[in-house]
Every structure is written in C-alpha cells, then in structure tokens.
Amino acid sequence: MTSCLSNKSIVISGASATFAEDFCGCYSGAENKTLAVNLDSLVSTNPTEAQAQINTTYSALDDQIDVFIVDTRIQEPSGRDAIWEIPLSEWDQGLTPMSCQRKLLVHAKLFLQHQFHISKAKSHEPQPGNGFCIVILGYQDLFGDSLDQVIFKLQRDVSRLHPGASVNFLDLRNSREASTQSIAAATALLVSVKPAHGIISLDHIASVKSTKNNNDDFVTQNAQLCTSLPLHLKHPKVKIALTFDFDVVSAFLGTGDHPDNNLADYSTGIFAGRVGANRILRMLQKHQTFEPTVKEIIKSGAEIGLYGYSHEGAYQMTPTQERDVLVKCMEVCQRLTGKRVRGYRAPMYQLRETTIELPREFEFLYDSSLSHHDSQPYFTPSDPPIKRVDFSKPASTWLRPTPLAATDAPPVGHPLVEIPHGWNNEDMMALQYFPHLDNSHGHVDVRVVEQKWKDMFLWLWENADVDGGDGSFVFPILMHPDTSGMSHVIGVVDRFVGWFGGWGDAVQFCTFESITQ
C-alpha cells in the first residue's frame, strides 16, 4: 500500500531529517521527492524566514507538493521521563491546547499561503489530479476538545484551493512507540482513501501494525475509515455589495447638526470629497473590483443612490419636507448622471413609514436602510407604524401582539426591494470621531472592525443555509470616504477587499441594482 507514495512529492515539517529519511525508506520513493523542513524554531520567532524555507522547498519540488506532513509529536502530553527527572524549565514551555493549536495552524498557514499563490497564478488552468493532502501527526488529548473545529476549518479552507484536497489528524496517543513504518502505512492510507472524518486513531487502522501491509486488501480492510459522517462542503454564491456614502460636508448639516460644529469638523468632510474618495477609487481599481463601475464613477455615470441633500434625518423634517428633498435629489442626480435614480438609503438609517412610501411612489428599485434580515434581500414590508408603549395607561393597553407582515409576504403596491444594512456593516461609527455625535467612537483598532466583518462573513458561509435556500447570501459593507479614506484605515480596507478575492468564483462583487433585479 505504501507504494502509492512513491510518485508523490512529500514535505515533512516539524520533524528531524532522520525521520524523513526513515519515512522515505518505507516505500520506494525518490529521496529528492521527500524533503524535511523543520520550522519549529521559526514559527514564533521568525515567520519571514519560515515562509522563505517553505518557498525554497516548493521550488525544489517544482512548485508541486502532494503530501504535507506536520509532525507535532515533539509536544507530548506527559513525556517519557520520570517527573523527578524533568527540568523545571519544561514547565514553562506552554504545552497547552491553545499553544499546540497555534503551532499547528502556523505550519498549515505557511504551507497554504504558498499553495494559495500557486493556485491563484494557475486559476485560468483546470485543477489537475486529486488534490494535495495534509496529514498531521500528534496526540489528540494534547490539543483539547476544539481539535475537531480546527480540523474542520482546515478541511473547509483547503477545499477552496482544490476540491479534492484533504486534511487528516493521525492520533498517536495510544501508540507512543509507533514505528515509522506504521506511520508511513497509515499516511498512505489517508492519502489514498481521504476519509471524511478528520481525526483518525492509528490504533483503529488494523493493518498498519502488520509488516505485511503492501497488499491490495489494505484499503478494503480499513474501509471503516470511509464510513464517518461526510463533511458537507457547501459552495454558495455570495454577492458582495460594497457601497460608499458620500457625506462630505452634509454630514454636519442634517443628522450631525450641532451648534458647536466648527471649521475643524467641516474640514473632515472636505477631506472626504477631495482626498478620501480618490484613495478608495484607486484601491478598487487595484483589485479590479467593479472596474467598469469605477470607470463610470470617474465619469459620473455609475449606479448612484440617493442619500438626502444635507444628510437630513426623517424626524427632523415634516413629510412634506421629506418629499421636497427627495424630488430635489432626483433632479440633481438626473442632471449629473443622465440616469434615473433607482435606489435610496436614509441618512443615519433614520426613516419612518412615510419615508419608505416615497421610493415606492417614485418606483425606485431598492432601499437599503432596514435590517429585517442581515444577509438576504427581501421586499420592503408595508407594516403599520409600531405603537410605542404608553406607560401612563393600564398595562392591558399594550399587552397584545404587534401586527407584522410575514417575512415572505408578497409586496403591497410597487415591489420595493430591501437590501439589508445596519451599524455592524459599516466603518464610520467605530473608526470615525465626531465630537458632538454620541454614537461615534473613532479610536477602535481598525483590525477589530476587519475581524468583525470576517467573522460575520465566515459564519454566514458556514451557516447561511439555516435561513433556507442553498446557503447563498448577500454581504453588504458600507464605507465612507471620510473614514475608510484615512491613511490608517485605507490599508485595512485594501487588505479586506483583497481577502474577498481569495474566495474565487464563489464571491462576486455586485451593484445593488443587479442584486435587486
């Protein structure tokens, strides 16, 4: 069975060269195709050098690695020495589940980073073969209860690089004296069978303890490895909906009006229009995100939605004023773009029932101010106003259900689509400081927002089918030139938009109009 490794390019990380030589000796493999690269001392101290070693190893194998083995056995849960013989310094090595997982994931990250760049460079070519295999050698009890989730995450991510790629953890906890031959035989089995269950015990592989394992029945005898619950790899389609609220000075005139606003405040709005917006445009062009639309933006001909004239909040105006403002904005948009405006967002998400009726009256395609859902478009409901509780009256006056339309109710009148949005999907409140606005912050680390958006996306990717359908969803992100155009933010935005590109054709940048249609 181990002969199936003979034509494979194998890299063993975290192990000695001696182990790699012994491993290679278990099958008729060419020595120059089984390489050892010990990254243990570098993963925490010098990640740059660790990545350089991975790159060198890839080059030595012509950028083709079939099997990547991470040997974590240097970290044992109890050790072999008597407790009175263990140096006290060993107690400070931090052999905790978190430290073990970190080491494992850093090894995997270094390997997969290079694999990603190779896959990206060859994205125009059909993906050959059955995909690469990652085999992790170690002791399950040292990694704690979350090892399942770690392996699941790795399985999910490698499938994005190649649909046939696999990740398995070979648990040696009951086989501390496991021979290199038995490990090589088990590795061959995992490479051939690619069991769906990510954690396999060496003791559960009956044949590997025998020296006579080079026979055709080897896989058959271990067919139980294939009977585990399959990992349901979803490949939903995600529509990334990037929008940019061009507030400029208007942010200080409507919802941001305050008697203490001064030239320094207005200055940030001028920055947004003259500097921040151009930085964002250049960033989008770099990633070829909406490139046709970016070119249209430069020519003032892109999809443009209305957002008030002076950032007016609905409750600052009468219904008549609301209507006058909307009509004025429609006229300005038509004059500047030559196109009929099709979308609307309420400044600061401040709107009421009369506000939402106006886009219906003028037959807009979409609104993007509400969050009845967070990742699925829906028809904007025509619910009556929700009545506030009047605590001056008996409780019986409010102890009754609030009438709301069903989530799948057909539209009443003009079918105005809602593309959901809310505070968690935007940059400004966390990253922009307004001296006179209560819900702004401005001193949050930009990486916190970046990670929050990634956490939202990843949860939806793995769980969006909870909401029904095939797991596809819309991912709206709102940015402001005032905020994301700042020098300490634009780099993170650049990195985040580039991160989307790593999801391949599963992710598509879309205009709101195309989503609505």
Residue 236, Cβ density class (10 Å: 0-12 exposed, 13-18 middle, ≥19 buried):
middle
Tokens of 517: 């249609």
Query: Is residue 478 classed as helix, strand or coil in its secondary structure?
Result: strand
Domains and CATH numbers, the chain: 2-227 (3.40.50.720), 238-386+409-516 (3.20.20.370)
From the number of C-beta atoms within 10 Å of its C-beta (0-12, 13-18, 19+), residue 99 rates as middle
Provide the CA 131 distance to its chain's centre, in angstroms. 22
Instruction: Report the distance separating Cα 379 and Cα 366, nearest Å.
Output: 9
Query: Long-range contacts made by residues 225-230, C-beta under 8 angstroms, separation at least 24?
Result: 225/189, 225/190, 225/193, 225/195, 225/197, 225/200, 226/193, 226/195, 226/196, 228/195, 228/196, 228/197, 229/196, 229/197, 230/196
pLDDT score recorded for residue 176: 56
Q: What is the pLDDT of residues 159-205, one digit of tens each?
A: 888 888 899 999 887 765 678 888 888 888 888 888 777 888 887 77
Identity of residue 424: N
Rama region for 165: left / alpha / beta (φ>0; ψ in -120 to 50; rest): beta
Q: How far is CA 73 from CA 13, 14, 16, 297, 313, in A?
A: 11, 8, 11, 56, 62
**pLDDT on residue 9:** 85
Read off φ and ψ for residue 294, nearest 5 degrees.
-60, -45
pLDDT digits (tens, 9 = 90+) for 411-459: 888 999 999 998 999 998 899 888 887 777 888 999 999 999 999 998 8
- Looking at residue 121, its pLDDT comes to 73
- Per-position pLDDT tens, the chain of length 517: 566 787 788 888 876 667 877 888 887 655 567 777 777 667 666 777 878 888 888 888 888 888 998 888 765 555 555 556 555 665 555 556 667 777 788 888 888 888 888 777 776 565 666 788 999 998 888 777 778 888 888 888 888 888 888 999 998 877 656 788 888 888 888 888 887 778 888 877 755 544 444 444 444 444 444 433 333 345 678 999 998 898 888 888 888 888 988 888 889 888 988 898 888 888 888 887 765 554 556 564 467 899 999 999 999 999 999 999 999 999 998 888 888 899 999 999 998 888 889 999 999 999 999 999 999 999 998 888 888 899 999 999 999 998 888 777 788 889 999 999 989 999 988 998 888 877 778 889 999 999 999 999 988 887 877 887 778 899 999 999 999 999 999 998 999 998 888 787 789 999 899 999 9
Give pLDDT, residue 86: 55
Cα separation of 175 and 185, whole Å? 14
In this prediction, residue 297 carries a pLDDT of: 62
Count of residues in the chain: 517
pLDDT of residue 74: 63
Name the nearest CA neighbour of 294 among 244, 333, 334, 257.
244
**Six-digit token string for 306:** 């209305």
Q: What pLDDT score was predicted for residue 81?
A: 53
Q: Which residues pair with 36 in a beta bridge?
A: 12
What per-residue confidence (pLDDT) applies to 52?
A: 82
